[in-house]
Amino acid sequence: MQILHVSAECYPAAKAGGLGDVVGALPKYLNKAGHNAAVIIPGYRSKWIVSQQFAHAYSGLVRIADLYVPFHVNRHVGESLGFRLFIVDVPGLFDREGVYADTNGNGYSDETERYLVFQQAVLHFIKQLEIKPDVLHCHDHHTGLIPFMVKHCPEYRELSGIATVFTIHNGEYHGSFSWNRANLLPWYDSDANGLLEWAGRINPLACGIKTCWALTTVSPGYLMELMQSSNGLEWLLRNELSKASGIINGIDAEVWDPSTDPFLKYRLGDDIADYKEANKQGLSEEFQFRHDLPLITFIGRLVMEKGADLLPEAIAKFLFEGGQASFVVLGTGEPSLKDAFLRMKEQFVSYFDTSISYNEKLSHQLYAGSDFLVMPSRVEPCGLNQLYAFRYGTVPVVRSTGGLADTVKDITQGGNGLRFDQFSVDALSSSFHRAATLYHDKQLLGGLRENIMQLDFSWETAAGKYINIYQSLID
Ligand code: ADP
């Protein structure tokens, strides 16, 4: 099968979170399974894209309101990715370094125009291909209008026989915009207005859910949760359940391998304890913390969704109660949280440190050198961090929600991590106490590390499930 993934992110070209990891890995594993998968993303000016060679593949124009916007599709030269990568250059819209925000963290205000042009440029590109994809796999709201456009826009209807799969990686963001801006859309059958709309606005996420041939979410637990709570889309998800399935993400075992990881100074050899200790020591070049205490780390977006707002109070409570652990936070996000963490760095010297940055290399070093990884998420579609933590021998401490509940079981139930249910300061700080106790039981911790490092969350299994879906649509 020929599968084209259409996405806003793809590691290593452009990544802001888990979407990038998934789209950078799944196509590789589809190809390994004998299919022909490619990826197309916008041509940001990311460091990786700027450093690579691309060959021109196609140029065209997209109409948006009364403007014709020129675009160029370029193909990545080389075999290093394990799949063909195309980027869509749109001067003025995507020639910026950040994916969704500038270097100060301010989100771009022209998101609607950017992704409307991108989606249509992708369709123009496909129209002129001699061999068309069998499946268009669209990811998140940035590409949610594609299944609609191929069905209901005369300009793209010749592609309506291509199966469309829509995956929700993050249902918090809908990309919705006002009907006053409907003139930005390509011409479409007015009978189809209802497919674009949700709650009085044009809603690309809802439109993708309604019009795709098959819908997936990145874990079965998240699919269930979206039907209970998804910013107003609950009823829609219940209605479309018959074409939906939840598939847990895999991890790219080639990128995330502690025995070969080029970002690590101390790679995994025969002795897990030595590897962990050396990497923990290595972290002192970047952070100040007590080496004799357990190191509990948070890596991720500093936003409510991830429960990052619970950390300052829970850490303070734990430390004031005499809890013995050090903490490190790596992340970017809401300014009030950044300030809170920077204040804690002054307040709890040697017990708390932070890097307010997006730093891929440091994230790998933290997965390797930490004892515990905390994820107090309010919502977690799948969560990849806990899977990376397993692979690097770091015990996850997670709130039972979405993909975290699907992948982490508490050690009291013979599981692989520490879990808490309530979204509260008390529940989180109690988990820190449990982690501190576990840390000193060297036998239990050693056995647990050995077990979690052998867990299999490889992409082969997940890719097989996607292949079954593609096949069922084509048949
Ligand atoms: P999200 O909801 O943000 O997509 P996931 O758990 O699915 O969450 O994926 C997060 C990915 O982003 C992981 O690869 C994680 O290591 C990475 N990540 C998040 N924040 C940072 C950061 N500040 N620096 C480096 N990597 C980060």
Where are the chain's structural domains?
A: 2-250+459-474, 272-452
Q: Check if 2-250+459-474 and 272-452 are the same fold.
A: yes
Q: 395: closest CA among 380, 377, 409?
A: 409
| Tokens read off for 286 | 């970047």
Q: Above 90 in pLDDT, residue 105?
A: no
Q: Which atom of ligand 1 is nearest to the CA of 21?
A: 14
Mean per-residue pLDDT, 410-415: 94
Q: SS3 for 104?
A: coil
> CA 6 to CA 140: how far, in whole Å?
9
Burial of residue 427, with CB atoms counted within 10 A of its CB: 0-12 exposed, 13-18 middle, 19 or more buried: middle
Cβ(20)–Cβ(73) below 8 Å? no
| 471: Cα separation from own chain's centroid | 25
CATH classification code of 2-250+459-474: 3.40.50.2000
279: number of Cβ within 10 Å: 25
pLDDT digit string, tens, across residues 49-80: 999 999 999 999 999 999 999 999 999 998 89
Q: 276: closest CA among 391, 444, 412?
A: 391
Query: Who's near 77: CB < 8 A, 6+ residues apart?
Result: 52, 53, 54, 55
CA atoms within 13 A on the CB side of 16: 19
> CA 117 to CA 134: how far, in whole Å?
23
Specify the residue with its C-alpha closest to ligand 1, atom 19. 300
Q: Which atom of ligand 1 is nearest to the CA of 380?
A: 2
| Tokens read off for 1 | 């099968």
| Tokens read off for 215 | 């819908």
What's the whole-number average pLDDT of the chain? 97
pTM for this model (two decimals): 0.93
Q: What is the pLDDT of residue 475?
A: 87
Specify the residue with its C-alpha closest to ligand 1, atom 3. 17
What architecture is the 272-452 domain classified under in CATH?
A: 3-Layer(aba) Sandwich (3.40)
| Tokens read off for 136 | 């268009």
Burial of residue 409, with CB atoms counted within 10 A of its CB: 0-12 exposed, 13-18 middle, 19 or more buried: middle
pLDDT digit string, tens, across residues 193-244: 999 999 999 999 999 999 999 999 999 999 999 999 988 999 999 999 999 9
Q: Residue 110 Cα, ligand 1 centroid: separation in angstroms?
A: 24
Element (H, E) at 32: helix 18-32
| Tokens read off for 464 | 């097989």
Q: Residue 170 Cα, ligand 1 centroid: separation in angstroms?
A: 13
